[in-house]
Amino acid sequence: MHCRAPQITTHPGITNHLTQFYASLPFEQTKSSLRMATQPPGPSCPSTMRAWKCTSSGSSRTCLTLQSDVFLPSLPLMGSKILVKVSHASLNPADLAFMTLFPYWLPFRRHPVLGLDFSGTVLEIGSSLPPDCEIKIGSKVAGAISHWDVGLGIGTLTEQVVVDVGQVALVPNNVEWLGMGQAAGAMGIAGQTAVCMVSSGAIRKGMRVLVNGASGGVGGLVVQICEGLGCDVVGICSGVNKNLVMGLGAIEVIDYKAHQDLAGYITARFGGRQDDNIDVIMDCTGSQELYANSPKYLKPDGKFINIVGGWSQGVVPFVRNKLRPVILGGVPRDYILFLLSANGLLSKQVAEYLENGIIKKVPIDSEFGMEQAVEAYEKLATGRAKGKIIVKMAS
């Protein structure tokens, strides 16, 4: 049983009325939630929790503060909300963008809690969740919140978080090797993005898929899903990560550091006969060079899928690549850029890939304790992570 602090001070008379009111309620869960909401915190009932707040702009060292006086979410929960005791959070490059891109004085920016991915245990459920909902108090869940949520102050580098039930899926309990850290890493942004890339590429058995950035959080999962669906996967990463990527199922690895003219090397390797060409390129690094040269090695009906946003790698190339006609120098290959809208159905798809063995491992670069989130972000900011970086929130 966990405890709630009242967010508003209640007069004893009002508390009496509330006590009578919740005694008349039919649902035990709602009663207990209301009871907790009206109880004053005792010594065994903490009213606050710890969370990493982003209190200025810049690097993680300058702008992140671990605060221990953040109010616990208030109960009872309305609608389809659930309260999750966060076990692990996993980090994403988007968190770094949030720290640096948005000045902290913007009204929506305020002092948000950072973090998108999480895994944890459900402590409370909202009043409108149907009794047959598979997510119940005590369920182990994982998923990701949206970028908007972070802007609104809800992040996952915290001890407890309230999310909509539609943002999570159950962590599979029949995958022996799967811990809650790996669940956060796989079922959060990285795995959901991998699922979307695979569906955007209409991936099917027998395809040849080239994954650029194959050793990263997203790339490592894309490699496994494509291989598991019966594709021949070629990964691009630096030489030190060759064994990692081969171990994820790639049949060949190209060391981008060993080839000054990477596109030239890929052309020599996969250009020429159409049978040798690539069906889909999954680009997790935002390489315009790879797209510009793609007619030399990507099939005419092939797809180039880029997930890297921003002005220089996302928006401007997207407009140019989509709109410029071939006659004016446009590239005659389908170009797709998307921004993930995180949701529990995508987490569920990742869970299915974990359960049926298509995802055989979740590469974890490193795991940090809750107090070490700054160091964890510094590692992420090097751009050299081999898989996911995890922060363990619960002791």
Ligand X SMILES: NC(=O)c1ccc[n+]([C@@H]2O[C@H](COP(=O)([O-])OP(=O)(O)OC[C@H]3O[C@@H](n4cnc5c(N)ncnc54)[C@H](OP(=O)(O)O)[C@@H]3O)[C@@H](O)[C@H]2O)c1
x/- binding map, residues 154-193, to ligand X, per CB under 6 A?
A: -----------------------------------xx--x
Shortest approach of ligand X to residue 187 CB, angstroms? 13
Shortest approach of ligand X to residue 196 CB, angstroms? 8
Q: Which is nearer to ligand X, 39 or 238 (CB)?
A: 238
Residue whose C-alpha is closest to residue 302's, from 319, 283, 318, 284 = 283
The answer to the question of residue 285 lying near ligand X (CB under 6 A) is yes
The answer to the question of residue 381 lying near ligand X (CB under 6 A) is no
The answer to the question of residue 92 lying near ligand X (CB under 6 A) is yes
Q: How many beta carbons lie within 10 A of that of residue 371, not counting itself?
A: 11
Cα within 13 Å of Cα(6), Cβ side: 15
d(CA 82, CA 75): 10
d(CA 293, CA 270): 12
Q: Do residues 64 and 95 lie in contact, with contact meaning Cβ atoms separated by under 8 Å?
A: no
DSSP string across 192-235: HHHHHHHHHTT--TT-EEEEETTTSHHHHHHHHHHHHTT-EEEE
Shortest approach of ligand X to residue 393 CB, angstroms? 19
The answer to the question of residue 308 lying near ligand X (CB under 6 A) is yes
Shortest approach of ligand X to residue 385 CB, angstroms? 4
Q: What values do phi and psi take at 141, rounded to 5?
A: -130, 165
Binding to ligand X in span 333-372, by CB under 6 A:
338-340
Distance, C-alpha 115 to centroid of its chain: 9
Binding to ligand X in span 233-262, by CB under 6 A:
236-238, 241, 256
Shortest approach of ligand X to residue 54 CB, angstroms? 17
Helix axes of 344-355 and 189-200: crossing angle, nearest 10 degrees: 90
Residue whose C-alpha is closest to residue 7's, from 68, 93, 52, 73 = 73
Q: Which is nearer to ligand X, 80 or 306 (CB)?
A: 306
Number of residues that bind ligand X (CB under 6 A): 31
Shortest approach of ligand X to residue 380 CB, angstroms? 6
Residue 47 in tokens: 């009213």
Q: Do residues 183 and 173 lie in contact, with contact meaning Cβ atoms separated by under 8 Å?
A: no
x/- binding map, residues 47-66, to ligand X, per CB under 6 A?
A: --------------------
The answer to the question of residue 217 lying near ligand X (CB under 6 A) is yes
Q: Which of 223, 234, 250, 284 binds ligand X (CB under 6 A)?
A: 284
Q: Do residues 168 and 85 lie in contact, with contact meaning Cβ atoms separated by under 8 Å?
A: no
Distance, C-alpha 94 to centroid of its chain: 9
Binding region for ligand X (CB under 6 A) out of 13-21, 49-57, 134-142, 230-238: 230-238
Shortest approach of ligand X to residue 305 CB, angstroms? 10
The answer to the question of residue 221 lying near ligand X (CB under 6 A) is no
Helix axes of 344-355 and 180-187: crossing angle, nearest 10 degrees: 120
| Residue showing the smallest CB distance to ligand X in the complex | 216
Q: Which amino acid is at 386?
A: K
Shortest approach of ligand X to residue 218 CB, angstroms? 4
Binding region for ligand X (CB under 6 A) out of 88-96, 107-115, 133-141, 325-333: 88-96
- Interface with ligand X by CB under 6 A: which residues? 92-94, 189-190, 193, 212-213, 215-219, 236-238, 241, 256, 284-285, 307-309, 338-340, 380, 383-386
